[in-house]
Structure 1
Amino acid sequence: MTNPTPPNRRKTPLLSLGVSFLLLFACGESKPTETNGRNARQTENQLPLFRILILGDSLTEGYGVSESEAYPSLLEKKLNKELSPKTKVHYKIVNGGISGATTSGGVSRIEWFLQSKPDYLLVALGGNDGLRGISLDEMKKNIDRILQAAKENDIPVMLAGMKIPPNYGPEYSLAFTQVFEKLAHVHEVPLIPFLLEGVGGNPKLNLPDRIHPNPLGHQAICQTVYKSLVANLN
């Protein structure tokens, strides 16, 4: 699994708001280094290489667990074990997660990320926006720009949704979730309704900080993402 190191990369834990339930959904971002054309890339075993960039936050970066335990690495292994024999391509996950990243950070780096021409993009940002109570109009605008950039580069996209507890009020929480639904509809891209399905709020699947998933939590996230990818990859 490729785990690139973009400029000004930081290993900072998520924002602490003093409300443990709110922190259960904390989330980071990163960039690829390979620049070969998509059609020319092949693996050593001569299978075409299919690269999936995951643009995310600390959930994607794998804060608090080893690289091999984070869901991007698990996803790469699962794709190559279970899907590759059917599709006859070799999958590589490019981990574009940085702890603390918000959607504005994704916008500032998306063109740089896309220079390597990944074959597929999974956008997994927004959790930190929700934790900080950032304007939902601003968050929506940022994700829209990321999805538009992928479209302009002819890169298929999947959007991962997030949910937050009603610490900023039930209206904000509901509207937050609906941002992802509306953007997926407008851009006609597949949506994972909740990246942390079955993980958020479950102490057995989170680290002692009750913020970040533990290895078991990452296994659950891997299953969630895998199911959506298999259903949507051509």
Structure 2
Amino acid sequence: MVIKGFAAFLLTLAVGFTVTSATQAETLQMVGFGDSLMAGYQLPAEDAFPARLEKALKAKGHDIVITNAGVSGDTTSGGLARIDWSVPDGTKGVILELGANDALRGIPPEESRKNLVAMIEKLSIRKIPVLLVGMLAPPNMGEDYAKRFNPIYPDLSATYFVDLYPFFLDGVVENPALKIEDGMHPNAEGVQVMVDKFLPYAERFLEEIGETKP
């Protein structure tokens, strides 16, 4: 009887250990949500920003999958319209990158801000943390537009306590060799520059949301 009881005890421990190990080994699901800069315009899927970032994080020991939810041409209003179904249940974090097309089209910055706020709040209600990606207005939009547009991202970061990557195209925007023929979108080398600069922010974000390496 004692032996049987001890065997049952060991079995319980084994089952508990298996469940715990499975939980610890659960792959972290993230979503890269944005426009053509996220989608990887004119690039193979493996060269898009989410895929390159996922590869870089895995090389650092993170068990992670980053779904590419970028849509070329998307504005903040387009993103707001699709964010509920583009970010599935079980997502542990979202890289939110939108606003470049708003600036290119001259959409009032107040409208862009309102849409970004709505997306952050929708994700907050679902308890999904956000890493907000900043954008800068193109110079041809003028100084007044830039003064209204550029502060949106740091302001939202401070107001909603979300992490911020200041400028998505940092290191690429002024280097033609890192862009495709249109002079606007990064080529594969440009994406890698973006990933290298973004990586420390991504790792800090993972630490904050409680991700543990396997």
Distance 1:181 1:227 in 2: 18
Distance 1:147 1:83 in 2: 28
- Provide, for residues 199-222 of structure 1, a one-character-per-residue CA deviation record: whole Å limited to 9, x for no partner: 113101001111110011000111
> SS at the partner of 1:59?
helix
- The answer to whether structure 1 residue 79 and structure 2 residue 52 are counterparts is no
> SS at the partner of 1:83?
coil
> SS at the partner of 1:233?
helix
Counterpart residue number, 1:145: 118
TM normalised by structure 1 equals 0.76
TM normalised by structure 2 equals 0.83
How far does residue 189 in structure 1 lie from its aligned partner after superposition? 0.5
- Provide, for residues 170-221 of structure 1, a one-character-per-residue CA deviation record: whole Å limited to 9, x for no partner: 1211321101111111101011000100111310100111111001100011
Distance 1:149 1:133 in 2: 25
> SS at the partner of 1:185?
helix
Q: In the alignment, residue 219 of structure 1 is paired with which amino acid?
A: Q
- The answer to whether structure 1 residue 216 and structure 2 residue 189 are counterparts is yes
Counterpart residue number, 1:93: 66
How far does residue 165 in structure 1 lie from its aligned partner after superposition? 2.5
Which stretches of structure 1, 4 residues or longer, exceed 3 Å deviation after superposition?
Answer: none
Q: 1:192-211 maps to which residues of 2 (within 5 A)?
A: 192-211=165-184
8 Å contact kept, 2:137–2:145: no
Alignment length (residue pairs): 187
Q: 1:96-107 maps to which residues of 2 (within 5 A)?
A: 96-107=69-80
8 Å contact kept, 2:35–2:71: yes
Larger Rg: 2
Q: Which of residues 105, 110, 113 is equivalent to 1:132?
A: 105
Counterpart residue number, 1:54: 32
Distance 1:126 1:79 in 2: 25
Distance 2:87 2:50 in 1: 18
Q: Which of residues 168, 171, 178 is equivalent to 2:144?
A: 171
Of stretches 221-230 and 201-210 in structure 1, the one that deviates more from structure 2 is: 221-230
Higher RCO (CA 8 Å, separation ≥ 6 residues): 1
> SS at the partner of 1:182?
helix
